[in-house]
Copies of this chain bind each other. A is one copy, B any other.
Amino acid sequence: MSTKPLAIIAGAGTGTGVSIAHRFSRAYNVIILSRSSASIDPVISAVEASGGAAYGIPTDVSSEASVTAAFKAIKAKYPGSPTAAAVFNAGSWNRAPFLETALDDWERVLGIQGPVTRGAGSRGAFLFSKATIPLLLESKHLEYPPTLIFTGATASVKASANFTAFAAGKWATRALSQGLAKEFGPQGVHVSHAIIDGIIDVPGTKEWTFDDEDAKISPDAVSLVSPNIRDRRGELTVGHGKIADAYWHLHTQPRTTFTWELDVRPYVEKW
């Protein structure tokens, strides 16, 4: 159905991205912008396995040309479809003593260079916002207010030693989300920022162990179709409220009740 609304997700290569895609695909056609087919394909499989539709576009969200091409492809694929939601979930990462941080690292984390999975940072967030806000402004007639959500981290509110560049990119993105919330909220677009505080339970962190059960945030509800993303005890997690459910809750808030920011963390997290 070509006029089913769209949910456009940048950075779907992580467990959180897969989970968000899965959750939003219950209501919308999902578009995945991610660097490589390798990260896109599992998302599409997961969504289709539960009866949804997803369409992936290899994209470097830190490249203006790549983003422009991606949104042209979306329009060609789904002409006339309104955009109900957009999620910026692309991440950058940097851990280094400051004096070993090169300008290239700084700019990569601030979003100037490099692939999505390494350097989406604030430039990617800027380009994604520029591309999606005009689409969201046209979608105020849908069931829920059009929504733009950014995935943040503890580093979005706290700069730690050896994570200075990483934090700078995260703080810039949080500022972006707050400025957009104030500018476009009164125009009916809901802009949110989620601070994910804790280790997300995805394959990349599997080697990190904890004494407590449930010590990591479980990002998703797709264990059945994507066994790598089960929680660490190997139990199924379908049906529980998770990060993706929090994002969906944000999306369904009416314009009388917009949340700009919430934090989520595992119950054992020290903070």
Contact = CB atoms under 8 A, between A and B. Distances in A.
A176 interface: yes
Given A258-B265, A266-B258, A171 B161 contact: no
Nearest to A265: B258
Interface stretch (A4-12, A25-33, A48-56, A97-105): A97-105
Given A169-B172, A216-B256, A259-B246, A110 B98 contact: no
A163 interface: yes
A231 B123 CA distance: 40
A21 interface: no
A186 B126 contact: no
Contact of A262 (B168, B173, B261): B261
Interface in A239-271: 240-243, 245-246, 249, 252-271
Interface residues of A, number: 82
A144 to B, nearest CB: 8
A83 interface: no
B267 A134 contact: no
Contacts of A270: 182
Given A180-B164, A217-B256, A64 B103 contact: yes
A236 B210 CA distance: 47
A218 interface: yes
A26 to B, nearest CB: 16
A201 B134 CA distance: 31
B259 A253 contact: no
A75 B216 CA distance: 36
A160 interface: yes
Interface string A174-214: 11101110111110101000000000010000000000101
Nearest to A212: B186
